[in-house]
Chains A and B, each alone.
Chain A
Amino acid sequence: DAGVTQSPTHLIKTRGQHVTLRCSPISGHKSVSWYQQVLGQGPQFIFQYYEKEERGRGNFPDRFSARQFPNYSSELNVNALLLGDSALYLCASSFALASGEQYFGPGTRLTVT
């Protein structure tokens, strides 16, 4: 079975631009979470979506938004990019809302110049 997939793998954007990152969860998984991992740090929670509804939000500005589609795939959008948004963006899926183990994709490496 395919694991969590994310696209694109790498991305270079300029300050002020907008970016959309995509995630497809493991088949049968209904919950998708997004994390940001800055170099030298652990992943930091951004959002959780379940059944197309936002179920959790981390301490990130409103420039960050996300949505989940009927097929449970998800998009993370970041507006007005800052240099500090450069990071590895990880998507994780789990079967249920209250599932302990989350399964991560390989991530999208975003570089903002």
Chain B
Amino acid sequence: DQQVKQNSPSLSVQEGRISILNCDYTNSMFDYFLWYKKYPAEGPTFLISISSIKDKNEDGRFTVFLNKSAKHLSLHIVPSQPGDSAVYFCAASVGRGSNYKLTFGKGTLLTVNP
């Protein structure tokens, strides 16, 4: 049973436009959420995170929004650049204490066209 779902396998946007990647979760115990970016032949790279006590976190071109009532989060990339083309994984965890683990979605392939 997928506890973290990324329902769009792929997304294509034009350079300079906004990219919006979506993620839904089913486990109401999740209280910490992360986005990772993965290029081929590399491990996932941490991008941005958000705690459940917040509804928005911003870092440069990247903003993550959390809607706890809908169990939904999204990653906004503005403006999108060709170098942003990669697979993006949404991940979640229950607390940050012992037995800490990340539960990942299946990923969304973002392609930014020049």
Residues in chain A within 8 A of chain B (CB atoms): 4, 33, 35, 40-45, 48, 55-56, 58, 90, 92, 97-107
In the assembly, what is the distance between CA of A48 and CA of B103, in Å? 13
Chain B interface residue count, Cβ-Cβ cutoff 8 angstroms: 28
Q: Among B12-20, B43-51, B60-68, which stretch is in contact with chain A?
A: B43-51
Q: Tell whether A42 pairs with B106 under 8 Å between CB atoms, given A102-B46, A105-B43.
A: yes
Is B30 in contact with chain A by the CB < 8 A criterion?
A: no
Nearest CB in chain B to that of A9: its residue:
B41
Chain A positions within 8 Å of B95 at CB level: 98
Task: Check if B107 sits within 8 Å of A56, measured CB to CB.
Answer: no
In the assembly, what is the distance between CA of A101 and CA of B85, in Å? 22
Further 9 A-B residue pairs, CB within 8 A, beyond A102-B46, A102-B102:
A33-B101, A42-B105, A42-B106, A45-B103, A56-B98, A90-B43, A97-B97, A100-B49, A104-B43
